[in-house]
Amino acid sequence: AGAGADAVPAVSAACRYVSEAALQAPPEHLDAAVRLMVASGPEMREVAPGARAGLHPLLIPLARDNESGAVTGLLRWPSAPDGSNGASASLPVVRTAQGGATLELLALSAREYAHAALARADAEGDEAYAAATAAAGADAAQLYAAGDVAAAALPHMDAYLTRHVGKFPDAIEGLARGHFARGDEISGLTAAELPTKRMWFPGFARPYAFLAEVCAEHDRPLEARDMARAALRLPWWSLGGSEFRRVAELAQYGSAEEVTAEGVLERIAAERAAEEGELATQPEPEAAALQAAHELMCVVAARDGGAWTEDEVTRLAGLLEDAACPGAAHFVAEWTGKGEA
C-alpha cells in the first residue's frame, strides 16, 4: 500500500538508539532538538548516536562542533540521582567539556533545550528565528510563540529563560555574574546558591563548584570549602567547566599541584565513615558496586583529557550489572560493541 494519511512516521536514528541501546523512552521533541543543535552554528554536524567510542560512556552523542570538537547529546544516568523526581533525571541534554573529561549540563530535557533555542533565536533577529523555526519544523509552534521574549520585557535572556522556559545552569550563572558586575554581592551569591538549595540540577556537581568559586572570589573561604566538598561528593564528570584540581584545592584537600583523585576519594570515604558509621563502611553488595562505579568514573574524569579505555568501560559495565542497574550496564556495554543488538 502507498503512503497515506495513516502512514507511520519514520523513527529517527536518535529515537531508535535511545529505545534500543539506552533502553529509555525517547524524550519528546528529541528530533527537533537535534535539528536545532545542528542549526546552532556553522561547524555543527549531526552524528550517529552509536558513534560513542572515545566519548564518556554515559553519553548518547547527537551533534558535534567540528571546530571545538565538543559533542552535544543526552546523558543516560546509571540510576536516578539523589534529589531527582523521575522527570529531572530523564535524559538531560549535555555537552562535553575539558576535552571530554566532563559533561556540562545544557538543559534538563530535550523539550527545554529546543524551547530555549527558539527563544534565543527570536531575540537574535528575524533571520536567526526563521532558520530556527525551519530546523524545529512542526514542533516549533508547540514550543514557542514568536515575540514572547519581547513581550516578557525582561532585562536579559537569562531572566527570560529562568522565568518562562526552565532552569539552565548557564542562565543561572549569568544572572549571578550580572549581579556581581553591578556590585550587588548579596544578590549574586543568592542567585548562585539557589540551584543548590532548591535541587534544580540533581546529581550535577557544577552548581556547587560554581558557588564554591564565587564564594572564594568574595573572600568566603569556609563557604567555598563546604561547597567544593559537596561538589566532590557528586560525579566528577558532572563538574562541567570546573576543573577537578581547582575544586579539590577550594575544598582544602591540598594544593592543585599535589592533589590526586585517589587521595580525595580516601578523604571523602573517611568523612562519610565519620558521618554515617557502619552504613558507609559496610554497604550492601549492590550499593558497594554502584559506589565502585562512581569512583571509577571519578578517577577517569580527573585524568587529563578524561579518555576512557575499552577495559575501563568493560569494567564499568560489569560494576553496573553488579549494582542491579541492568539497563545502564547494557547501555555502557554498547560502547565497546559487546552489548546485545
CA distance 256 to 173: 24
CA distance 230 to 275: 14
Three-state SS annotation for the chain? CCCCCCCCCCCCHHHHHHHHCCCCCCCCCHHHHHHHHHHCCCCEEECCCCCCCCCCCCEEEEEEECCCCCEEEEECCCCCCCCCCCCCCCCCEEEEEHHHCEEEEEECCHHHHHHHHHHHHHHHCHHHHHHHHHHHHHHHHHHCCCCHHHHHCCCCHHHHHHHHCCCCHHHHHHHHHHHHHCCCHHHHHHHHHHHHHHCCCCCCCHHHHHHHHHHHHCCCHHHHHHHHHHHHCCCHHHHCCCCHHHHHHHCCCCCCCCCCHHHHHHHHHHHHHHHHCHHHHCCCHHHHHHHHHHHHHHHHHHCCCCCCCHHHHHHHHHHHHHCCCHHHHHHHHHHCCCCCC
Percent with pLDDT over 70 in the chain: 93
The answer to whether 320 and 329 have CB atoms below 8 angstroms apart is yes
Express each pLDDT in 67-123 by its tens digit.
999 999 999 999 888 777 654 468 999 999 998 999 999 999 999 999 999 999 999
CA distance 244 to 257: 11
Residue 30 has pLDDT above 70, yes or no: yes
CA angle 334, 335, 337 (to 5 degrees): 60
Average pLDDT over residues 180-192: 97
φ, ψ (nearest 5 deg) of residue 75 = -95, 125
φ, ψ (nearest 5 deg) of residue 74 = -110, 145
Q: Report the relative pairing of strands 44-46 and 102-107 from DSSP bridges.
A: unpaired
CA distance 213 to 208: 9
CA distance 136 to 116: 12
Residue whose C-alpha cell reads 571523602 in the numeric block:
268
Whole-prediction pTM value? 0.93
Would you state the pLDDT for residue 3?
Answer: 43
CA distances from 289 to 187, 275, 280 (A): 42, 21, 13
How much is the mean pLDDT over the chain? 93
Ramachandran bin of 137, using left for φ above 0, alpha for ψ from -120 to 50, beta for the remaining angles: left
From 90, 92, 114, select the one nearest 104 (Cα to Cα).
Answer: 92
Longest dimension (CA), the chain: 72
Would you state the pLDDT for residue 341?
Answer: 34
CA distance 8 to 52: 29
All three cell numbers of 101, joined, read 573529561
Average pLDDT over residues 160-176: 98
Work out the number of other CB atoms within 10 angstroms of the CB of residue 186: 9
Express each pLDDT in 267-300 by its tens digit.
999 999 999 876 667 889 999 999 999 999 999 9
Would you state the pLDDT for residue 264?
Answer: 98
Residue 328 has pLDDT above 70, yes or no: yes
User: CA-CA-CA-CA torsion for 281, 287, 292, 296, nearest 10 degrees?
Assistant: -130
Would you state the pLDDT for residue 113?
Answer: 98
CA distance 174 to 184: 14
CA atoms within 13 A on the CB side of 191: 23
Average pLDDT over residues 214-222: 97
Express each pLDDT in 116-146 by its tens digit.
999 999 999 999 999 999 999 999 999 999 9
